Amino acid sequence: MPPRTTKLGEDENGELVAIDWPDGDVEQMLQSHIAATPESSGGRSGRRQGDIGPAPRVSDTGGLWSAIDLQTFTFNSTELATTVKRFRDEMYRNQFPVLIPAFTHRCTACETTYGEERDVCEVCGETEFETPSRAQRQHLEERFASVNEDDQSLASLMKYEEDFQSFYGVSTILARLRYQHVNRETHVAGRPVTASGRWEAVEIEELVHADPLRVRPVVDENNRHGGWWTCPAHREQYWVKTALTFEDGADRPLEVCPECHAELAEVGYVETGGRDDDVERLFLKHEVIDWARHFPVLNGLDGRSPVLPLVKLQAILQWSRNYELQYLNPQNDQQLPDKFLVAYGKNIRESLRASLQEEEKKNPWEEGRLMYEGNPDDVKLELLDLSSDAGINGREPMVERLMSQIRAMFGVSDAFENELSDTGGLNAEGTQVEITNSAVASAHQDTIDKALNTLCRLIERVEGHCDWELGYVNPEKEDASLSALDVLQGIDLAQQTGTKVSVEDGQLIIPDQQIDPAEPASNTAPADPPPPDGTISGDESGLNAEHPRQNTSRPNSSQ
C-alpha cells in the first residue's frame, strides 16, 4: 500500500508534499528501520583501508619495537629514563592548573564576549555586562583538587599522562559522565513529530587514565574521527553511518534508539580487549580527551613515540659500557675487536649465530664481512669502527655526542663544559645540562591546545558555560614572581605615582600608561618597579603527588 501524501503548497519549481508513514507515526517508522540494521559491539578484529571502525595504534603496529618494549627499554636506560623524568618534572614543577579568565566582559543579553571593557554591546546594543563567574572558578579549583575516586588531582593525573607521551606517543584521559534523559521536539520534513528523548551530560563524575593501546579512536573511510553511532544509555550495539539517514546539514541521523527512543550520539572511541581485539565498550566523542604532542598522526588522534628513534643511540651507549667493562676486566684474556656491528630487530641472535657457525673456521672480523640471514625489513644495522682511535679513550667523543642527541629530543641541552670534561669522563661536573624554557613553553602550549581546551569544552557542555581557561605558569616569568609583601609595595608605589593598578587572581595588573616617577606623594623610597610587560605572576609553587589509576571502564548512565 503506497504511503498517504498531503499537498502543502506549490510554486514554479513543483509541489511540496508531506508523506505520512504507516499509522501516522514517523518515530515508529524510524525505530523499525534502525532495529533492522544494528551491529554488535564485538568481533571487529583489524581494520582495512577505507573501512569504518577503530584504528590500531601506531605504537602497536609501527616499527620493530612494541610499546611495552619501549617502556621497559626506557626504564632500563640511564640517559632515556633520566631525561624523560626530568622533562616531565619540569613541566609540572609549578602550580597547575592556572585559571585564566576566558574573557573580560560578556553581554548579559546575547552572551557576546569581549576581551576589553565595553559600554555598549556591538551585537545587540545592550549596556549590561558581566565578568567571569567567581563561583565557577571556586568550583573548578575544588574539582581539580580531586578528579576521581582515588583522590587524584588534575595536576598529578596530567603529570602521570606525560610518561605516555614518551612511551606511546599519545595520552588518553577518560571522562566518566552522568547523563539525564530529556525530551525535545524534533522535525522531519519540516513538520514537528512526536517528542523524542535525548541523553544530556549533566555531571563529570571522574577523570581517569585510559590505556591508549586499548582505547582506540574510531575513524571513517576518510580517516576522519567518527563513523559509528550508538545510544548513550544503551551501548550494546552500534550503527555504521552508511546505514543511517541524514537530512541535509543535520548533525545526527533521523533514526532513534529502539529501546528508549532517544537520539543517537556519535561514537568516538572503543575499548578493545581479548585475543582478537574485540570491541568491549563504546565511548562517545566528548568522553575521551587524547592528545599527541611529539609526532601526531591521524589528525592528532594518535602519535609516534619520541623514544623510538632514540633506541639505536641508547643501544650503542649500552654496548659502549659493556665494552668498557670487558676492556677493564683483568680476567678477560680475549682480544677485543675494534669494529662492531650494532643490530636491533627481530631474531637477531638466531640469525647472527647461524652466520658465525658457518664462518667458524675463519674470523669474520678479519674477513671484514658478517652475514645476516634474516629478513632485512626486520632489522636495522650500523657498523662502528674504532680502529682509528687510540684505545678506550677513543669512545668518549662518540659517547658524549650520543648522550647529547638523546637529551636534545626532549629539549635538554648541554649548558657548558669545563676544562675537566676531557679528564676521563669520571668527573660529574664535566658536563652540565639544562632544560630550555622554550622547550617547556612549547610543550605547555601544545598541551593547552590539544588537551586542556578540550577539557574546557567538556565543562561547557556539562555546565552550560566555562568562563575560565586552563594554563601553566610561564617558565620565562618565574624570576619575576612577587610575594604578598611585594604586591603590597607595588600598590603603595602605584598610589604615590598616580598609577592605576588592580590585583586579580594573585596577579598585579598594570595597564599601559605613562608613569612619571618624579611625582611621588611622599619621600618614601620607591620599591623596584615591576617588569615592563605589566603582568606579574603571584604564587607559582606547589606540586601534587601522583596516584595513577588504570581504568577504562564504561561511563555511568542514569535515567
Contact 443, 96 (CB under 8 A): no
Which pLDDT value is given to residue 229? 95
> 129: which strand partners?
107
474 vs 537: CA distance, rounded Å: 9
127 vs 112: CA distance, rounded Å: 12
Which pLDDT value is given to residue 415? 55
Tell me if residue 344 falls in helix, strand or coil: strand
CA angle 528, 534, 540 (to 5 degrees): 80
Residues of the chain with pLDDT under 50: 21-24, 26-32, 44-46, 388, 390-391, 416-431, 480, 515-527, 529-559
C-alpha cell at 170: 599519545
Sorted by where each begins, the domain ranges of the chain are 27-57+133-306, 309-438, 481-539
Which pLDDT value is given to residue 34? 62
Which pLDDT value is given to residue 536? 35
DSSP 87-107: HHHHHTSS--PEEEES-SEEE
Buried b (16+ CB within 10 A) or exposed e, 283-313: bbebbbbbbbbbebbbebbbbbbbbbebbbb
Which pLDDT value is given to residue 462? 93
DSSP 194-232: S-EEEEEEEEEEEEEE--TTTEEEEE-TTS-B--EEE-S
Could you tell me which residues come within 8 angstroms of residue 250 by beta carbon, excluding any fewer than 6 positions away?
none
DSSP 5-25: EEEEEEETTEEEEEEEPGGG-
537 vs 478: CA distance, rounded Å: 8
> Could you give the C-alpha distances from 164 to 156, 211, 310, 499, in angstroms and in order?
14, 9, 16, 48
The predicted-structure confidence for 272-311, as pLDDT tens digits, reads as follows: 986 667 888 999 999 999 999 999 999 899 999 898 888 8
Q: Is the peptide bond before 555 cis (omega within 30 degrees of 0)?
A: no
The predicted-structure confidence for 240-280, as pLDDT tens digits, reads as follows: 988 898 888 788 898 889 888 889 999 999 999 866 678 88
